[in-house]
Amino acid sequence: MGHPDLRAEGVAIVAGSVTDLAGVTRAKYVPASRLDAFARSGMGVSPSWSVFCVDSGIAFTPTIGVAGDLRIRIDPDDLRVVEHGVAWAPGSLNDQYGRPAPLCTRTLLARYERAAADRGLDVRMGGELECTMLSADGGPATTDAWSPYGIRTSLDRSAFLVDLATTAERAGLPVEQLHTEYGHDQLEISLAPDTPVAAADAVILARIVLSRAAARHGLRISFSPVPFEGAAGNGAHLHLSLSDGDGPLLSGGDGPRGLRAGGAAAIAGVLDTLPDLIGLYAGSAVSALRLKPGNWAGATACWGLENREAAVRFIAATPGNPHGANMELKLIDPSANPYLAAAGFLGSALRGIDRSLDLPEEIPENPAQSGVPTRPLPLAQRDALDAMETSAAAAELLTPDIVAALVAVRRYECTTFGDMPPAQICDALRLAWTC
Ligand code: GLU
Ligand code: MG
């Protein structure tokens, strides 16, 4: 999509954002007349932008301190009008010479996109965003009973939903569907599949559009994995499909559920690194509260056709699924940086293909009742971080620099929130990931 005519659209300021390792999106702005500078030299930010924490703390590391400077750069072709007078584009982090910064997660994902292309693979990814509507003061938005997927609970919010759809269309955000979800005040939108970086950009754009449309209707939006203790969790599931010159890898073969050999190895690759990367996919101080059996959060290290309790839900190619066969990584929650989550997911799939990993047996029913043993996952935050810090696979997939900074940012959360009762942590982080 070419960039909008900023003058004709009444745009006064242009935002360029980066999402940090705590999953928080931060931005700098220029007056619209300075767009060229944002694209060419970029806007300065301190290296600490990569190790800011959920609550404004900074997790300095031996290599990231108070000295140095980086640049956020945007591509004017990525600009979208997100609010009256405001255009936004996703930024990449560069050094002052225009080279990618080692901690730029968008650049890492672009690298996997190229690595797939080098193997002759076309990749499509698509995000689902679950979130929770809050009142303006941050409490529950709806005081009467909730009806999951209810026509009442959605029509009660139709002015907001109409504004959301209109703003999304104007911003070129490809919303596929939206509904009120199972949890009280919970909402979901799903996005059309796209190339990996574009799909992760769309997740950030969707968070902005959702948060801002909600604000115009007296609501706030929580992207916390668990906004209230005991409430349904918010997932940030990602879908992934791969094709080569002979067609899709996840259908048309003679493996289980019609998988081709490469498709089976790709799923095996994703399952293989779950213990190493759960600290990335669901690594915040509240993430483990969501990862319980029965929550459909995919907290079990297995795969299965349309299995909502499996970490990897396999979706077959059927007439009811126009996008073709794909795998959905349900474990991911919205505290994860979507670029890094997508990089870990795609990188693991490619690693599985490169190593021709064997696909474990499918678990077609609720894993809690299947009796088939699965690999235990380090669900608790401290355990997930210990596993990631010592994992050769995590270092290989994410780079040692990113693993070190991610562990520092999340360990800060262990220290700050680890001794609080769960309800208090949920309260403290309810708006941490709101855009
Ligand atoms: N809310 C669930 C989660 O935390 C997902 C429910 C669903 O399958 O849509 O991931
Ligand atoms: Mg859902």
The domains of the chain, with CATH numbers, are 3-101 (3.10.20.70), 111-429 (3.30.590.10)
C-alpha 415 – ligand 1 centre gap (Å): 28
Residue 3: band (very low, low, confident or very high) from pLDDT cuts 50, 70, 90: confident
Residues whose beta carbon lies within 6 Å of some atom of ligand 1: 130, 232-235, 290, 295-297, 308, 330
Q: Which atom of ligand 1 is nearest to the CA of 128?
A: 9
Q: Is-contact 161 153, C-beta < 8 A?
A: no
Cα gap 306→278, rounded to integer Å: 21
Report the pLDDT value the prediction gives residue 202, as an integer from 0 to 100. 98
Q: For 115-151, what is each residue's pLDDT tens digit?
A: 999 999 999 999 999 999 999 999 999 999 999 999 9
Mean pLDDT of 291-308: 97
Ramachandran quadrant class, 230 (left: phi over 0; alpha: psi -120 to 50; beta: rest)? left
Identity of residue 123: V
C-alpha 198 – ligand 1 centre gap (Å): 23
In this predicted structure, the answer to whether residue 4 has a pLDDT above a threshold of 80 is no
Mean pLDDT of 280-297: 97
Q: Which atom of ligand 1 is nearest to the CA of 236?
A: 10
Q: Which atom of ligand 1 is nearest to the CA of 130?
A: 1
Identity of residue 319: P
Q: For 304-317, what is each residue's pLDDT tens digit?
A: 999 999 999 999 99
pTM of the model: 0.98
C-alpha 339 – ligand 1 centre gap (Å): 20
In this predicted structure, the answer to whether residue 256 has a pLDDT above a threshold of 50 is yes
Report the pLDDT value the prediction gives residue 7, as an integer from 0 to 100. 87
C-alpha 188 – ligand 1 centre gap (Å): 9
Residue whose CA lies nearest to ligand 1 atom number 7: 296
As beta bridge partners, residue 375 has 301
Q: For 266-286, what is each residue's pLDDT tens digit?
A: 999 999 999 999 999 999 999
Out of 224, 234, 329, give the residue to mutate to test ligand 1, the one with the largest number of ligand atoms within 8 Å of its CB: 234
C-alpha 287 – ligand 1 centre gap (Å): 13
Report the pLDDT value the prediction gives residue 199, as an integer from 0 to 100. 98
Q: Which atom of ligand 1 is nearest to the CA of 298?
A: 10
Report the pLDDT value the prediction gives residue 5, as an integer from 0 to 100. 85
Q: For 20-78, what is each residue's pLDDT tens digit?
A: 999 999 999 999 999 999 999 999 999 999 999 999 899 999 999 999 999 999 999 99
Q: Which of 271, 277, 264, 223 is nearest to 392 (CA)?
A: 277
Out of 176, 330, 332, 333, give the residue to mutate to test ligand 1, the one with the largest number of ligand atoms within 8 Å of its CB: 330
Q: Which atom of ligand 1 is nearest to the CA of 233?
A: 4
C-alpha 73 – ligand 1 centre gap (Å): 34
C-alpha 171 – ligand 2 centre gap (Å): 23
Report the pLDDT value the prediction gives residue 2, as an integer from 0 to 100. 56
Q: Which atom of ligand 1 is nearest to the CA of 186?
A: 1
Cα gap 422→354, rounded to integer Å: 41
Report the pLDDT value the prediction gives residue 1, as an integer from 0 to 100. 47
CA atoms 156, 157, 159, 161: torsion sign: negative
Burial 382-399 (b: 16+ CB within 10 A, else e): ebbbebbbebebbbebbb
Question: Ligand nearest 330 Cα, by number?
Answer: 1
Cα gap 329→6, rounded to integer Å: 37
